[in-house]
Structure 1
Amino acid sequence: MSAVTDLPVWQSLQQRIEPALQTPIKSLFSDSQRFSKYSLKVQNIMLDISKQPIDDETCALLLQLARDIGLEERREAMFNGERINITENRAVLHTALRNRGGAPVYVNGADVMPVVQNELKRMRTFVKAVRSGMWRGHSGKRITDVVNIGIGGSDLGPRMVTQALKPYADDKINVHFVSNVDGVEIANVLKGLNPERVLFVVASKTFTTSETMTNAHTARNWLMASSFDSRAVAKHFVAVSSNVDAVKAFGIKAENTFQMWDWVGGRFSLWSAIGLPIALYLGFKQFEELLQGAHDMDLHFRNEPLERNAPMWLALTTLWNSTFLGRQSQAILPYDWPLQKFSAYLQQAEMESNGKSVDKDGQPVPYTTGSIIWGQLGIDGQHAFYQYLHQGNTIVPADFIGSIESSTPVEGHHEKLMSNFFAQTEALMCGIDADHIRADLTAKGMSSEAIERLIPHKVHEGNRPTNSIILDRLNPRTLGALIAMYEHKIFILGSIWDICSFDQWGVELGKTLAKGILPELQEGVIKDGHDDSTANLMRYFVEKRKALLDND
């Protein structure tokens, strides 16, 4: 059993569960100072956790738990380059990628900042060449479109950021993304492009990722089928990888390969050359603003007391809801249209990191780790799944994210958008009881019999916890800070749960099996060794596919 459950503070928190479940959150606002105590502002971000089922005693215990497991020491270990990814024996240094102060960060006794800064310099030079027209395609035409080919962290981060910062882009470069091995996606992306004006960025640390390399070869074949030969690859492809030999074999020059390091996990890599599509789309200055915002949050997380530390409170509210109160799902609900990919991005970041069931010693943990992260734009969600949030018999904590000012103002829209933001968090907490419903329906002239029949369907019990996150305005620097805040939340939770947040062995098993299954599907011969269901499904696929192809 993990030692964390033996701590006295853990036992004290267990004693706080029943009072938390029995006490309406809205009743906690009898404390007139509650909002000021349970909200803070950092880097143009307001975080309000006052609508959570916490009181002063619970908060003190949660903070004590963080201290008792050595959170502050673990935090320093991460920033200092210690090998906290214990199963892969690696440091975890995405923070070094945005270390704008340039202070030394050591891995195995060597300062990594010179190589980070050199790679940023190379990116800056390349981005300037492409955006200015100095870098041209094989036929001498200017590049107008960039296609990023990657998957997971090599796709979700750049895809999310380019969508979020679209208002800050100019018309120099269009950006497209291909991640799925389903040929429909790459076919649709390539269909509208001019091969003379396309630059492909192939992002794969090993340059062997099945989905990515399948798409990369399809893109190369498409390019060469357009009256080009293999020499064109060098002018239309660059790579982000650590496998230079494989990159060169593909036809990409070594000098057009951007570096990845084993101390940066894929889902935390958008700050590196994985962010090349972001920089090409927005310009390098905007990319540096993104890095600066993340660095600002790093400084806040590292230096501010735990009591006034935004990532800490974001993490502790999730810990309290999931591990102690049994609420295993969490919704991410942006009220800012450019953040439409943010919940998908966090889904990978959190669930791939903390979806673990053993502690660092390999022992099963006796408590819930991770959360089921899901969501979409809040306004759209109101007409989809908010019914479940308000009246379902499972309580889903939610993070609401909005902004003071729209990045693309349209008269009369933003106030209406944010009125829904505030109304939903209020409704989720306060609900509406039978007396209010009865009075309202009586005033509308409904009969008593009809009212009593309708009341059970209209009652909202409320007591649904939310965090409110309000940005001054969504811009590169604020977005960088927002992402970094959630990254540190992931680290804090993994530290308290005593799990390894920076490996992803659960991703590997299915991929390994798929490599063995692929030749069976290609050859049409299903071998022994599969379970009966899988074997018969594969036979059905092979036989049906052959019949369909024979009829074409």
Structure 2
Amino acid sequence: MANASSPANTLPEMGARSAPSEMKVREAFCGDLIFDWSYQFLSPEALQEFAAKRLPQDFSARRSELLDGRYMNVTEEREVSHVLTRGRNSVLRDTGAANGGENSKFARIVRRLRSGQWLGATGKPITDVVNIGVGGSDLGPLMTSFALREFASDIRQHDLRTHFVSSMDGGQLYAVLPICDPETTLFIVASKSFGTSDTFANVDTVKCWVKECFAELSDDAVGNDWLTAWLEHHVIGVSANVEKMTNYGIPPAHQLVFEESVGGRFSLWSSIGLAIATTCGTRVFQRLLAGAAEMDEHFATAPLSENIPMLMALIGVYNREERGINNIAILPYDGRFRHLPSYLQQLDMESNGKQYTATGAALSAPTGPIVWGGFGPNGQHAFFQHLHQGYDAFTADFVCVLHRAAPQFSESVAAALNEQQKLSVANCLAHRRLMAFGKESETPTEHYPGGHPTSLFALKELTPESFGAIIAAYEHKVFTQGLIWGLNSFDQPGVEQGKKVAIDTLARIEGKSEQSFDASTDAIIRMI
């Protein structure tokens, strides 16, 4: 028998978990979204008791403030309004809000691009859109565009390809620029502050690329001012800073503005989602917003026992505090959710990875967990060995899609794809079950300790609505956990000091400073 003292067998309450035959189904529903927490080894009564102990007394009031756009980000002294960008009664100046409709600037821009009516400086239709942004200006649009691209409407008159560039090292540009034509490529410069160094390092390289191309063209093609021609025909700015966009030279007609009160990691619903709409169309984008709005209503009105974000939050806090589990793996079993783990890393860890309260008081207890994960079917051949038989405690969220339509394929190919979907679901359910209950064996290599609490999101089908709902559920989970721990989930001062030190380091690398750091850093700089 495997060593009974292994960590997986000594977690609090693990030994008291129900046998598979005694397991009771614990589920909550929102539209076509199912949240199953049966394998958390918690009774509804125990969770209710925990909620009574840990939920703040004013939780309902704070939740209403969030949903109404009145909740205060006290550090930055502004309200938190991302929920309003997907509401139909929004009064924000965000030109990407759902209530903007087909006549908004956002929608008009998307129509021109997707119909081939947007022409570059030399009169050729735009064929490629490159979204340049980082953090919330990249992760959300990238994830959602990848997940929902198959829902793109078929009214396009020509192909429009969307690319994403975020890394400051230029590695992504190195791959994207050779497959694009400067005459037919439009760049979305997405930056809340319109001053992010990572983003503008990429923009500066793009300008060099464009300048070389335009220099080879006749003056009749682009005139004698290549930069103005490029800015007027090949750039859209998306930011909360109108002044900086204007000073940069972006025409007002090509500026999409969202409010300062919309946090970057919560901004895919705003005009930051332009790349989603260029990939999928405005109707799909509005369906995405509608699904998120449905989850907002569910979060506002469903009782605790049926409230998906509240269940997620309380279970997560219980696992962190009562079971001492410091990490959660995000394991999607549908390729369209491939970018979900990276997105949730930022959403959760930048929001709640803190050691101080919203008022600046130091905390001595743990807060947000480490969020990691990967595409489940690939993970089975990579890190699942450690999950099943390693020494570390973990919890996990599985995601699966029960049915998949394939109307663009022939009947036989659609049937084959459906069989693959069944195989994926079967593997998802099997590994989740094995992590929960384990497998006894006298042979150590065949013994699985089990005892790992997990949850499952099961979507009847992936649609723009169900995708919007699941992302909004995670947002509200993070918000609720922040309230429980007394955090401000809407600031991120921990990322700022590294940027400041990097400025000093770059000055030394470029020979503009003689500042010394430490022996190791100085040695590497001398090599440069």
The answer, yes or no, to whether TM exceeds 0.5 is yes
Match of 1:161 in 2: 144
Tell me which amino acid in the other structure corresponds to 1:480. G
Residue of 52, 69, 76 corresponding to 1:64: 52
Match of 2:437 in 1: 430
Residue of 25, 29, 32 corresponding to 2:17: 25
Match of 1:11 in 2: none
C-alpha distance in 1 between matches for 2:395 and 2:148: 27
Residue of 43, 47, 60 corresponding to 1:55: 43
Distance 1:325 1:55, change over 3 A: same
Residue of 492, 495, 498 corresponding to 2:486: 498
**Cα distance per residue 1:341-365 (max 9 Å; x no partner):** 0000000000000001111222222
Match of 2:475 in 1: 487
Match of 1:420 in 2: 427
SS at match of 2:38: coil
Asked if 1:81 corresponds to 2:81, the answer is no
Match of 2:284 in 1: 286
**Cα distance per residue 1:421-459 (max 9 Å; x no partner):** 11101111111113xxx5xxxxxxxxxxxxxxxx12321
Q: Which moved more, 1:80-89 or 1:186-195?
A: 80-89
Tell me which amino acid in the other structure corresponds to 1:167. E
Residue correspondence of structure 1 range 231-380 to structure 2 within 5 A: 231-380=229-378
Tell me which amino acid in the other structure corresponds to 1:232. W
Provide the TM-score with structure 1 as the length reference.
Answer: 0.85
Q: Per-residue deviation at 1:30?
A: 2.6
Match of 2:217 in 1: none
| 1:240 and 1:257 in contact (8 A); partners too | yes
Provide the TM-score with structure 2 as the length reference.
Answer: 0.89
Residue of 455, 459, 471 corresponding to 2:459: 471
Identity in percent: 36
Q: Per-residue deviation at 1:407?
A: 5.1
Distance 1:358 1:197, change over 3 A: same
| 1:404 and 1:471 in contact (8 A); partners too | yes
C-alpha distance in 1 between matches for 2:339 and 2:304: 30
Match of 2:92 in 1: 112
Asked if 1:514 corresponds to 2:502, the answer is yes
| 2:73 and 2:490 in contact (8 A); partners too | yes
| 2:93 and 2:258 in contact (8 A); partners too | no
Note the residue ranges of structure 2 that are not aligned, 5 or more in a row: 1-9, 215-221, 407-413
Tell me which amino acid in the other structure corresponds to 1:336. D
- How many residues in Structure 1 have an aligned counterpart in Structure 2? 492
Match of 2:6 in 1: none
Match of 1:107 in 2: none
| 2:67 and 2:296 in contact (8 A); partners too | no
Asked if 1:223 corresponds to 2:197, the answer is no
| 2:352 and 2:368 in contact (8 A); partners too | yes
Match of 2:5 in 1: none
Q: Per-residue deviation at 1:28?
A: 7.9
SS at match of 2:72: coil
C-alpha distance in 1 between matches for 2:405 and 2:333: 12
What RMSD, in angstroms, separates the aligned Cα atoms of the two structures?
A: 2.0
Distance 1:253 1:68, change over 3 A: closer
Q: Per-residue deviation at 1:246?
A: 2.4
SS at match of 2:188: strand
Residue correspondence of structure 1 range 173-212 to structure 2 within 5 A: 173-212=160-199
Match of 1:12 in 2: none
Distance 1:403 1:411, change over 3 A: closer
Note the residue ranges of structure 1 that are not aligned, 5 or more in a row: 1-17, 105-110, 439-454, 546-552
| 1:402 and 1:471 in contact (8 A); partners too | yes
| 2:82 and 2:266 in contact (8 A); partners too | yes
Q: Per-residue deviation at 1:243?
A: 2.5
Match of 2:527 in 1: 544
Distance 1:216 1:119, change over 3 A: farther
**Cα distance per residue 1:277-316 (max 9 Å; x no partner):** 0001111111000000000100100111122101111111
SS at match of 1:527: coil
